[in-house]
Structure 1
Amino acid sequence: MYEYLSGKLAFKAPTYVVLDVGGVGYHIHISLHTFAQIKDAEQCKLYISFQVREDAHTLYGFAEEGERRLFEHLISVSGIGPGTGRMILSSITPDEIQSAIINGNVPLIQRIKGIGPKTAQRMVLELQDKLKKQGGDTLIAVHRPQSIPEEALSALVMLGFARPQAEKTLAGIVQQQPTLTVEALIKEALKKL
């Protein structure tokens, strides 16, 4: 329903913000990761996850689109609700969570408050393949500056090409033509994949 909200930060706390959008104040729950990214801002844009329950309609906001996607993956796991999903994202960075899930690092996941051994194992079982298919480290790196080969690799992985094959193809092209733009590099790689 909501993609993002952009406006003036009327109030900031480590767990929520009030975002003034055209004179309407939206109470939005945030993770500590998002709080760290927006703490000095007066204006901000938050990517929204709108959660509806019988007794509440709640907005969760994230400074990065990738963090929102990871949150939605987390709450799709049986036994993890929005509050626990936010706790997970507040305990360790989204990159660390994603890496722990992809690599099956159950002990690291278990260290998060409210996550027991069964829930940690369920997270790995249910999300490992999904996160690998989405290109591993490209899920969170939406707003991080990337080199041209990294950006091209992210695009190819998201298009469904196997990461090792795409890396090898791109390395060969970059070695022969190091000055290509991202678009040109992707087009060349698509010809060879």
Structure 2
Amino acid sequence: MYEYISGKIVEHGPAHVVIENNGLGYFISISLYTFEQIRDKKEVTLLVHEQIREDAYNLFGFSGREERELFRHLISVSGIGANTARMMLSSVSPGELTTAILSGNTSLLQGIKGIGAKTAQRVIIELKDKIGKSSVDEMKLFAGPNNTVREEALSALVMLGFVRGASQKVVDKILAAQPELSVEQLIKASLKML
């Protein structure tokens, strides 16, 4: 199973991106949220989810770990396929979607194309406990513009040998106080606290 694909963006649109890596072009379906994160980049690393079916082999790409986890939670709900989950993540930000699920906001979910009353209720019932394990504060941070800086800093800290959970708490605490920090500044500040 693929974890991520890095490479040069050859083509992109609101629903897909083609990434060239070692002479191969990967067609990856993305949400509008991910498109907004990578729109101005020439090279990118996308976390991926593979979907292997009898008639197709599909890759779905995500700019951050939290969005991919939310996608995987959504497709675990009966009646929601990969394209519906991608539509949900394109209609509202992952942070807004998580908050809607945790607060039981069926009207927000029903406002998404293809989601009726029964499906909205099923999503809330099946995912409230699963998603409730991560804090709402973390999702608010994730919904903001600091996601790329946050993820890059976390990845660097993990590569340096620090535990992801502890690093995440420190990074989130620093970003809450100083949201304008660059990746390098965030890593340096984190190293002082770890």
TM-score per shorter chain, which class? 0.7 to 0.9
1:112 maps to 2:112 = yes
Per-residue deviation at 1:54? Answer: 1.6
Question: What's 1:60 paired with?
Answer: 60
- The sequence identity of aligned pairs, in percent, is 49
The residue type equivalent to 2:68 in the other structure is R
Q: Residues 42 and 119 of structure 1: is their aligned pair in 2 closer, same or farther, counting only changes over 3 Å?
A: same
Question: What's 1:130 paired with?
Answer: 130
The residue type equivalent to 1:38 in the other structure is I
> 1:100-134: per-residue Cα shift (whole Å, max 9, x none)?
00000011111000000000000000000111112
Question: What's 1:86 paired with?
Answer: 86
Distance in 2, Cα, partners of 1:144 & 1:123: 30
Per-residue deviation at 1:155? Answer: 4.5
Question: What's 2:35 paired with?
Answer: 35
SS at match of 2:74: helix
Distance in 2, Cα, partners of 1:64 & 1:153: 16
- Structure 1, gaps ≥5 residues long: 157-179, 184-193
Q: Residues 153 and 39 of structure 1: is their aligned pair in 2 closer, same or farther, counting only changes over 3 Å?
A: closer
Question: What's 1:8 paired with?
Answer: 8
Distance in 2, Cα, partners of 1:48 & 1:26: 11
Whether the aligned pair in 2 keeps the contact of 1:138 and 1:154 (CA below 8 Å) is no
Whether the aligned pair in 2 keeps the contact of 1:48 and 1:60 (CA below 8 Å) is yes
Distance in 2, Cα, partners of 1:126 & 1:42: 38
> 1:74-95: per-residue Cα shift (whole Å, max 9, x none)?
1110000000000000001100
Q: Residues 122 and 137 of structure 1: is their aligned pair in 2 closer, same or farther, counting only changes over 3 Å?
A: farther
Distance in 1, Cα, partners of 2:136 & 2:130: 9
Root-mean-square deviation over aligned CA pairs: 2.3
Q: Using structure 2 for the length normalisation, give the TM-score.
A: 0.74
SS at match of 1:113: coil
- Structure 2, gaps ≥5 residues long: 152-164, 171-190
How many residue pairs match? The answer is 156
The residue type equivalent to 1:19 in the other structure is I
SS at match of 1:79: coil
Moved over 4 A (4+): 142-146, 151-156
Distance in 2, Cα, partners of 1:119 & 1:154: 33
Q: Using structure 1 for the length normalisation, give the TM-score.
A: 0.74
Point out the structure with max Rg over C-alpha: 1
The residue type equivalent to 1:97 in the other structure is L
Q: Residues 106 and 143 of structure 1: is their aligned pair in 2 closer, same or farther, counting only changes over 3 Å?
A: same
